[in-house]
Structure 1
Amino acid sequence: MRLTSFTDYGLRALMRLASAPDRAFSTAEIADEFGVSRNHLNKIVQRLARHGIVATRRGAGGGAMLARPASEIVLGDVVRLLEQDQALVECFAPDGACCVTPVCRLKGRLRGAEAAFLAELDRSTLADIALPAPLLAAS
C-alpha cells in the first residue's frame, strides 16, 4: 500500500503536534521543518480541524494544536479521514470501472489487504508515534 503525500504530511504534522500538546504550531513552522508545501499543509490542517482532531487559532500565538489527547486519536481513523477521496485501485472508486470486474478475483483480496492494513493502524494511537520532545530543541 502507498499513502498519498496528503496523508503522509498529515501524520507528520500530527506527530509534531503530539510532541508538545500544550503548544500551538504554525503551519509555516511545520512546513519548514519537514520541507513540505505550506499551502498543502494548510489544507491538511483544515481537514483535521473540521473533524475535531486539531484545533486552530488565528493571530499572534496562534497555530494548530491537538483538539484532544494523542492517546484518543486512533491512527486508522486519521488515515481513513485523510485518504477518504483516494481509492486503493481504480475499481474501488465510486465511478471506477474495470473491464474484468465481472470475473475479477483480485478485488476481494485487495479489499482484505486494505482492511488488514487499517486494522493494524487501529491498534495504535497518535501517542504511540509522537515525536520525542528533544527534537523540538534541535529544530
Structure 2
Amino acid sequence: MRLTSFTDFGLRALMRMASEPERAFSTAELADEFELSRHHLTKIMATLAQAGIVLTRRGGGGGARLGRPAGQISLGDIVRVLESDQALVNCFAADGGSCSISPQCRLKARLGSAEAAFLAELDRSTLADVALPPLAAAPISAP
C-alpha cells in the first residue's frame, strides 16, 4: 500500500506537533522545517482540524496544536482521515468505480482484508509513539 504525499506530509507535521504538545505551530513554520508547500500544508491542516485531530486559531499567538493528547490519536485514525478520498483500487471508490470484472472478481475481498489489516496495524500505535524529539533551542552566542 502506498500513502499519498498528503498523508506523508500530515504525519510529519503531526509528529513534530506531538513533540511539543503544549505549543501552537504555524503552518509556515512546519512547512519551512519539512520543506513543504505552505499552501499544501494549509489544506492538510484544514482536513485534520475538520476531523478534530488538530485545533487551529488565527492571529497572534495562533497556530495549530493537537486536538487531544498524542497518546489518544492512533496512526490508523490519521491515515483514515488523510486518505479518505483515496480508494485503494478503483472499485473501492465511493461511487463504486468502474470494473468490467466485478461480478466475478475474487480480488476485491482480499484487497479489502489487506487494507483493513494495514489500518489495524496502524491502530496499534499512537502519535505519541512516533513523536519527533523536540528541536533544541539555538545556542545563544556571547557578544
Q: What code does the residue aligned with 1:64 have?
A: A
Coordinate RMSD, CA, aligned: 1.3
1:131 match: 132
Bigger radius of gyration, 1 or 2? 2
Which amino acid in the other structure matches residue 76 of structure 1? G
Q: Which amino acid aligns with 1:97?
A: S
Question: TM (normalized to structure 2)?
Answer: 0.91
Decide whether aligned partners of structure 1 residues 131 and 99 sit closer, same or farther in structure 2, where only a CA change above 3 A counts.
same
Displacement after TM superposition at 1:71 (Å): 0.4
Query: 1:12 Cα shift?
Result: 0.7
Q: Which digits, 9 at most, give the CA deviation of each residue in 1:70-113, with x for residues without a partner? A: 00101111111111111000111123011111111211111111
Which residue does the alignment assign to 1:3? 3
Q: How many residues align?
A: 137
1:101 alignment counterpart: 102
User: Matched residue of 1:2: which SS?
Assistant: coil
Q: Distance in 1 between the 2:126 and 2:9 partners?
A: 17
Provide the identity percentage: 73
Match of 2:109, as an amino acid? Answer: G
- 1:1-139 matched pairs, under 5 angstroms: 1-95=1-95, 96-133=97-134, 136-137=135-136
CA distance in structure 2 between the partners assigned to 1:28 and 1:56 by the alignment: 13
Question: What is the distance in 1 between the residues matched to 2:86 and 2:47?
Answer: 15
In structure 2, what residue type is equivalent to 1:132? Answer: P
Paired amino acid for 1:106: L
Report the Cα offset of residue 138 of structure 1: 7.0
Extract structure 1 runs of 4+ deviating beyond 4 A: none
Tell me the SS of whatever aligns to 2:136. helix
Q: CA deviation at 1:30?
A: 0.5
Q: TM-score, normalised by structure 1?
A: 0.94
Amino acid at match of 2:40: H
Residue identity opposite 2:31 in structure 1: A
Per the TM alignment, residue 34 of structure 1 is displaced from its structure 2 partner at its CA by: 0.8
Give CA deviations for 1:30-77 in whole Å, capped at 9, x if unaligned.
Answer: 111111111110011111111211111211221111111000101111
**Whole-angstrom distance in 2 between the partners of 1:106 and 1:67:** 38
